[in-house]
Amino acid sequence: KAGVTQTPRYLIKTRGQQVTLSCSPISGHRSVSWYQQTPGQGLQFLFEYFSETQRNKGNFPGRFSGRQFSNSRSEMNVSTLELGDSALYLCASSLGASGARQYEQYFGPGTRLTVT
Amino acid sequence: LAKTTQPISMDSYEGQEVNITCSHNNIATNDYITWYQQFPSQGPRFIIQGYKTKVTNEVASLFIPADRKSSTLSLPRVSLSDTAVYYCLVGDKGYSTLTFGKGTMLLVSP
């Protein structure tokens, strides 16, 4: 079974531009979560989508947005890029939470975004 | 959200057993404890998950005392390839959201 794929793997943008990152989850997985990883802040949760609906959102400004399509693929968008948005953006998929049990999440390789 | 505390770093040698302890004093009744491993420039990888007592799989064991306020990840006979950051997470009730702490950087030397 293919793993989580993210495109592009590397991206260089200029301050003020916007960017769209893509994530294809493992086949059959309905939940997709996005994380930002920086040396200073570590891994931080951005948002989670399940069946095309945003189910949870982290503490990030409105410049960060996302969506999920009917095939569970997800995109995240960052508008008006700032230097501090330079990070590794990770996507993770899982079957989807049910009740109290936390389902295992499978992470993609990430997209390395550099803002200059 | 339950907060976790784990050592910033640990050193070990090949062939030794490594135990990484994580404290989570305000863990909720329905929370599970999960450990992930991350190599540089890669996404985290699930290692093991448990609720209480002991869980073992082909790569690690997880020990959870009765009060569940801490847990210990045990890696038997580590090798150089086990050098990575290990994260202890406590699951948010009912959701797939993961809250990562700073993790423990494990360095395995020859």
Q: What is the residue whose two structure tokens read 């996404």?
A: B43
Are the Cβ atoms of B42 and A94 closer than 8 angstroms? no
Q: Spell out the long-range contacts of B49-56 with Cβ–Cβ below 8 A and sequence spacing 24 or more.
A: B49/A102, B49/A104
pLDDT value of residue B89: 87
Q: What is the pLDDT of residues B63-103, one digit of tens each?
A: 999 999 999 999 999 999 999 999 998 875 455 567 788 89
Question: Is the model's pLDDT at B13 over the cut of 70?
Answer: yes
Considering only CB atoms, which chain A residues are within 8 Å of B47?
A: none
Are the Cβ atoms of B100 and A35 closer than 8 angstroms? yes
pLDDT value of residue B40: 87
Are the Cβ atoms of B32 and A101 closer than 8 angstroms? yes
CA distance A17 to chain B (A): 24
Please check whether residue A60 touches B, CB under 8 A.
Answer: no
Name the token pair of B28: 């909720």
Considering only CB atoms, which chain A residues are within 8 Å of B30?
A: 100
Please check whether residue A105 touches B, CB under 8 A.
Answer: yes
Q: How many angstroms separate the CA atoms of A18 and A13, rounded?
A: 8
CA distance A39 to chain B (A): 10
Give average pLDDT by consecutive 10-residue segment, chain A, 116 residues: 92 98 94 92 90 90 97 97 97 70 80 97
**Residue A102: which of B32, B44, B45 has the nearest Cβ?**
B32
Check if the beta carbon of residue B6 is closer than 8 Å to that of residue B18: no
Q: What is the pLDDT of residues B36-56, one digit of tens each?
A: 999 988 899 989 989 999 999
